[in-house]
Chains A and B, each alone.
Chain A
Amino acid sequence: MSTTVLRTKPRRSRLHRREQQIALLFIAIPLIGFLLFTLYPLLYSVYASFTSWNGLAAPKFNGLDNYIKMWNDPYFLKSMWNTLFLMIGIPIGLVLSMALALGLNRKMRGITFFRTVYYVPVISSIAAIAIMWQWAYNGDFGLVNQVLDLVGIQGPNWLADKDTVKPALIIMATWKGLGYSMLLYLAALQSVPRYLYEAAALDGAGTWQQFRNITLPMVRPVTFFLVVTSIIGGSQIFIEINIMTPLGGPEFSSASIVWYIWRQAFNNLHMGYASAMSIVLGLIIFIVTVIQFRLNRRNQFSID
Chain B
Amino acid sequence: MSTSTSLPGAVQAGAPLLDPQGGIPNSPASRPGRTPDGKGHALTRTTRYKLGNVLVTLILSLGAVVMLGPLIWTFSTSLKTHDAIFALPPQWIPDPVVWENYLRVWSAGPLLSGIRNSLIVAGTVTVIGSLTSSIAAFAFAKMRMPFKNAVFLMLLAGLMIPFPTIMIPQFMVFAEIGWVDTLLPLIVPGLFGNIIMIFFLKQYLENVPDSIIEAAKLDGASYLQIFSRLIFPAIRPAMAAQFILWFMAVWNDYLAPIIYLNTPEKQTLQLVIASFNAQYASQTDYPLIMAASFIALLPVLIVFIIFQRQIIESVALTGGKG
Contact = CB atoms under 8 A, between A and B. Distances in A.
Nearest to B304: A123
Nearest to B59: A103
A242 B258 contact: yes
B179 interface: no
Contacts of A279: 165
A141 B85 contact: yes
Given A19-B143, A27-B145, A108-B57, A235 B162 contact: yes
Contacts of A71: none
A275 B172 CA distance: 12
Interface residues of B, number: 110
B116 to A, nearest CB: 16
B77 A281 contact: no
Nearest to B258: A242
A187 B170 contact: no
A77 interface: no
Interface in A233-247: 235-236, 238-239, 242-243, 246
Given A107-B25, A143-B69, A123 B300 contact: yes
> Which size class do A's interface residues fall under?
35 or more
B233 interface: no
Given A32-B192, A285-B160, A135 B289 contact: yes
Given A22-B223, A125-B297, A128-B273, A191 B17 contact: no
A38 B190 CA distance: 12
A229 B318 CA distance: 12
Contacts of B273: 127-128, 131
A144 to B, nearest CB: 9
B20 A23 contact: no
B135 A26 contact: yes
A175 B192 contact: no
Contacts of B163: 236
A225 B185 CA distance: 31
A262 interface: yes
Interface stretch (A2-10, A61-69, A160-168, A194-202): A194-202
Interface stretch (B102-110, B235-243, B248-256): B248-256
Contacts of B311: 123
A256 B284 CA distance: 27
A206 to B, nearest CB: 8
B57 A132 contact: no
Contact of B14 (A187, A211, A265): A211
Contacts of B166: 37-38, 41-42, 45, 278
Contacts of A102: 16-17
Nearest to A122: B315
Contact of A136 (B56, B70, B223): B70
A106 interface: yes
Contacts of B312: 115-116, 119, 183
Interface stretch (B93-101, B148-156, B203-211): B148-156
B199 to A, nearest CB: 11
Contacts of A129: 70
Nearest to A184: B319
Given A41-B170, A236-B162, A265-B167, 16 more contacts: A20-B143, A34-B158, A38-B158, A44-B172, A102-B16, A127-B270, A127-B273, A131-B293, A133-B70, A143-B73, A143-B90, A194-B23, A202-B34, A243-B274, A266-B171, A271-B172
22 contacts: A22-B143, A27-B148, A37-B192, A41-B166, A41-B173, A102-B17, A115-B312, A123-B248, A124-B301, A126-B254, A129-B70, A134-B277, A141-B85, A143-B69, A146-B89, A201-B18, A206-B14, A210-B18, A222-B319, A278-B166, A282-B161, A285-B162
Pairs A-B, 9 closest by C-beta atoms: A33-B192, A184-B319, A207-B14, A26-B139, A187-B316, A41-B166, A44-B169, A194-B21, A282-B165
